[in-house]
Amino acid sequence: MTVPFFAMNHSFSSALPLLEEGLDAFLDQSGWVNDKQVRLLEQAIEVYTGAPFAIATGNATDSLIISLMALGIGPGDEVIVPCYSFFASLSCVLHVGATPVFVDIEPGGYGLDCALVEAAITLRTKAIMPVHLFRQMVDMQALKVIAQQHRLWVIEDSAEGIGMRWDGEHAGLIGDIGVLSFFPTKTLGALGDAGMILTRDPLLASRVRQIMDNGRDAAGLAQCLGYNSRMDDVQALWLRARMLELEPDIARRAAHCAAYDEYLEPLKQWVQRPVTLARDCLQRTVNYVYLIEVPQRDALAAFLTARHIGTEAYYPLPLHLQPVCEYLDYQSGDFPVAERASTRALGLPLYPDLTPASIGLVCTAIGEFYAAQGTAQ
């Protein structure tokens, strides 16, 4: 039996009739990029998240770059980012010519450790970029206090955050600007790359729309150096169809995680299961990845691969140790929590179409691996 890391055959098939129903209207449009279907998706996301402004883009990485540009961040500026994240959290800062300043993560939560942020602030700091990872949000209450005290922008990397809420507010709307990703593996996935920018600020929304469309204004005149990152209408049409199953899919993911928790309970001497960190504000978690921490992570991953079980290591090399950052002179040992996680964290298969039998198979294989090792170190 094969258990891929990600598969959505059934869920995608169920959305195809809805996609086909919309194709007639799509084919009758005069424009197929950043047109009517994109406007309808933006409106749907505004309703779902409560965002006053949702602007569709080509992908979430572009969304981060455009957000930095809209805030006027560039050469000479510093942006505080977690050292444990997808590479885009670093590359977006480098793309605008700014300098990333890394901060370690919260143990067990994997988000920016807000207790360490103030020590990283300098006179050149212009923004903080928290990343909401795997299943829960960064402590946005603490982060907002720091940002307000030091007059810093907050750019929320909510690429994994669709459906997550902090005290009733959707991820991406607590800071000044936020992004969503619709990469196919995400909780709300497109057929290819697609992203979204959220903000409450009408001026920022206007700047974003101009930048993402080659810097052009409503008359088509280039007012600034912009970016070509417009969403295809077919992606917008597909995402609108998939949104009908978003909340049921979130519930299915939660049920799968509960099943993993139960299966892995007897293995707790080896397997650290996901936790929800205690917060002062009520938060809604959404399970994007079921992330465990284990000894001999890479050997376990190879063992599972040999049994046709897909996994994903998160993140094998922290951002501060990436070759592109050598000029910043960070060293191994600078951020111990992230560096430890980078050798131990492993994502297990998690998607709505996953079956209880598949979850049992994965957990049985993990148990077999550690039984053969005879160690809990």
Task: Tell me the pLDDT tens digit for each residue of 311-337.
Answer: 999 999 999 999 999 999 999 999 999
Tokens 């996901």 map to which residue? 274
pLDDT at residue number 219:
78
In the chain, the domains with their CATH numbers are 9-243 (3.40.640.10), 246-373 (3.90.1150.10)
CA 273/CA 260 separation, integer angstroms: 9
pLDDT at 363 over 70: yes
Of the pLDDT bands very low, low, confident and very high (cuts 50, 70, 90), residue 153 is very high
Write down the H helix ranges in the chain: 9-27, 36-49, 60-70, 88-95, 140-150, 202-212, 233-243, 246-264, 297-306, 336-344, 356-373
Asked if residue 205 lies in contact with residue 172, where contact means CB atoms within 8 angstroms, the answer is no
Question: Rounded to two decimals, what is the model's pTM?
Answer: 0.93
Asked if residue 108 lies in contact with residue 343, where contact means CB atoms within 8 angstroms, the answer is no
pLDDT at residue number 362:
97
3-state secondary structure of 81: strand
Contacts of 352 (CB under 8 A, 6+ apart): 8, 11, 245, 248, 249, 252, 253
CA 1 to chain centre: 30
Asked if residue 240 lies in contact with residue 259, where contact means CB atoms within 8 angstroms, the answer is no
Asked if residue 77 lies in contact with residue 98, where contact means CB atoms within 8 angstroms, the answer is yes
Structure tokens given for 287? 């399970």
Region class of 331: left (phi > 0), else alpha (psi between -120 and 50), else beta: beta
pLDDT at 194 over 90: yes
Of the pLDDT bands very low, low, confident and very high (cuts 50, 70, 90), residue 71 is very high
CA 328/CA 101 separation, integer angstroms: 9
CA 293/CA 110 separation, integer angstroms: 11
Task: Tell me the pLDDT tens digit for each residue of 206-233.
Answer: 999 999 988 888 778 788 888 899 999 8
pLDDT at residue number 18:
74
pLDDT at residue number 376:
46
CA 41/CA 132 separation, integer angstroms: 23
Pairing of strands 345-348, 312-313: antiparallel
Compute the radius of gyration of the chain from its Cα atoms: 21
pLDDT at residue number 344:
97
CA 72/CA 66 separation, integer angstroms: 10
Pairing of strands 53-57, 195-199: antiparallel
Task: Tell me the pLDDT tens digit for each residue of 116-150.
Answer: 999 999 999 999 999 999 999 999 999 999 999 99
Q: Which residue has the higher pLDDT, 15 or 92?
A: 92
pLDDT at 377 over 80: no
**Count of CB atoms within 10 A of residue 48's CB?**
16
pLDDT at 1 over 90: no
- Average confidence score pLDDT of the chain: 93
Write down the H helix ranges in 85-126: 88-95
Residue type, 126: K
**How deeply is 55 buried, as exposed, middle or buried, from its count of CB atoms within 10 A (0-12, 13-18, 19+)?**
buried
Of the pLDDT bands very low, low, confident and very high (cuts 50, 70, 90), residue 278 is confident
pLDDT at 35 over 90: no
CA 279/CA 63 separation, integer angstroms: 28
pLDDT at residue number 375:
53
Percent of the chain residues topping a pLDDT of 70: 99
pLDDT at residue number 214:
87
Q: Treating both helix axes as pointing N-terminal to C-terminal, what angle do 88-95 and 60-70 enclose, rounded to 10 degrees?
A: 40
What are the C-alpha distances in Å from 32 to residues 36, 58, 240, 333? Answer: 8, 13, 16, 50
pLDDT at residue number 298:
96
Closest CA to 229 of 42, 58, 20, 6: 58
pLDDT at 12 over 80: no
Contacts of 91 (CB under 8 A, 6+ apart): 61, 324
